[in-house]
Homo-oligomer: A and B are copies of this chain.
C-alpha cells in the first residue's frame, strides 16, 4: 500500500526528533491560539482568561504493564500525569476528557476499576471529566487523556522564560518512580518463574507508590502563589531531570550548572538503587515519571524559598555559550546528557 523507496527508521529519530520533524511545518490560523505545539500545554485566548489544553496517550506494553499495575492505580495515574502538564504552566486544571480502547474480553468490572481510579483523581483535584470516547481494542488497553485548564496570561509559566543567574529549583525528590519500576519488574520475573512466591515489596511502599500512583504537584503551585513567587520558566519532570533541564535551557536559549550533591533523592530510592547496582543520580537524571515540577526563579526570590522543605535549589542558569553542565560530587564537570525515555527504542 505504501509506495515510497525512502525509509527513515523511527527508532533513530526518537520521540522528540519525530515530534520536531512532524511539527516544523505547522502553520497557525486562528487568532485564539496564543501557543500551539512546543510546551506542556497549548494556550488559547478565549477572552479574558487563557484556556490550557494538554493530552497524553498511555499504551499497554509501552507505558504500563498490567501484570503489576492495579487498574484503579492506572486510572488514577493516567489523570495525574496529564494534570501535571497544566500545573507545569502554572495554570488551574479544571477538566479532562478520557478515551479508552479495551478488549471486549475485559469484564465491565475491570473497566469500572480503571474508571474509579480516574474519578478518584478527579474528585481529589476537583476536576471535571467532561467527555471522551470508548472503543473496543483488538490489541491492548489504550488510554488517551486530554486535560484543560485556565490561567491569567500574566501568571502562565512557559518553558522559555529562564534568565541568566536564575535559580534552578525542583519540587519533592527524584528517581523514586524509576527505582520503584525496577522493583516491580524484578518481582514480576520472580512471579513468572514461580507463581507461588508472593511479591516482596515489604517496606518499599514509597517508591512503589511513586511509580504506580503519582500525584501532580498542585500543592507546589499553590505554595508558590502563597510565597508570591512566579517562576520565570517551568516544566514537569516526566522524562528524567536531565531531559527537562535541557528543555528549559534550549527553549530559553540559556546554559546551566546543576550540582549532583543538590539533587534531592529519598533515602529509600538511594538504597534500593544501590541494591540494583544502579547509580541513584543516574536514576534521578534519566529515570523519569517523577511528575515533580522543575522551575527557575529570580535570585531575589532566594530568601522566600531557601527554607521550604518541598523545594530544592539544584543549580543556576548561565548564558547559552557556557553550555549545560553537571558538577559531580567529586567536583568534576560533565556535559549534561538526556538519555530520557524513548518509546521507539527497545
Q: Residues of A at under 8 Å CB distance from B?
A: 1-2, 4, 6-11, 13, 15, 18-19, 21-23, 25-30, 32-33, 35-37, 41-42, 44, 46-49, 51, 53-57, 59-63, 66-68, 70-71, 94-95, 97, 99-102, 104, 106-113, 115, 119, 122-123, 126-140, 142, 144, 146, 148, 150, 343-346
Contacts and interface: CB of A to CB of B under 8 A. Distances in A.
A35 B263 CA distance: 44
B42 A131 contact: yes
A47 B66 CA distance: 42
A4 B57 CA distance: 28
Nearest to A33: B128
Contacts of A30: 94-95, 126-128
A139 B138 contact: yes
A29 B138 contact: no
Nearest to A343: B136
Given A104-B10, A104-B344, A48 B48 contact: yes
A27 B57 contact: no
A18 B131 contact: no
Contact of A46 (B47, B126, B138): B47
Nearest to A29: B126
Contacts of A126: 29-30
Contacts of A131: 36-37, 41-42, 53-55
Contact of A343 (B4, B135, B344): B135
A57 B99 contact: yes
A316 B306 CA distance: 70
A58 B13 CA distance: 25
A113 B49 contact: no
